[in-house]
């Protein structure tokens, strides 16, 4: 599903215009992004949790040259599905 298709689905289910649905979706994405950037998690009960995870520094291999390289530690966004979402998808 693309963002445009998601906007259409939101519009149909909420009886909002497509323009208002796009604004709402953009606002939700922006709010989640800002919270993650601040190191906070976002929990949507019944859906899941967006969180920030730390990846440790590690040694990797460059696939072209086969030489070992050092990969720096980094912070990455992660999503953990909630129970209700898992149950709905598994049916």
Query: How would residue 91 be classed by pLDDT, with cut points 50, 70 and 90?
Result: confident
For the chain, report the end-to-end CA distance as a whole number of angstroms: 19
Over range 30-50, report the average pLDDT. 95
User: Chain-wide mean pLDDT for the chain?
Assistant: 95
**pLDDT digits over 41-80, tens only?**
999 999 999 999 999 999 999 999 999 999 999 999 999 9
What totals of helices (H) and strands (E) does the chain contain, helices first? 3, 5
> How many angstroms separate the CA atoms of 78 and 71, rounded?
19
């Amino acid at each position: 599903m693309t963002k445009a298709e998601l906007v259409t689905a939101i519009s149909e289910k909420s009886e909002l215009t497509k323009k208002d649905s796009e604004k709402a979706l953009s606002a939700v994405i922006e709010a989640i992004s800002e919270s993650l950037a601040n190191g906070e998690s976002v929990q949507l009960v019944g859906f899941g949790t967006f969180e920030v995870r730390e990846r440790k520094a590690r040694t990797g291999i460059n696939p072209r040259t086969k030489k070992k390289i050092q990969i720096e530690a980094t912070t990455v966004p992660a999503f953990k599905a909630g129970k209700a979402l898992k149950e709905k998808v598994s049916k």
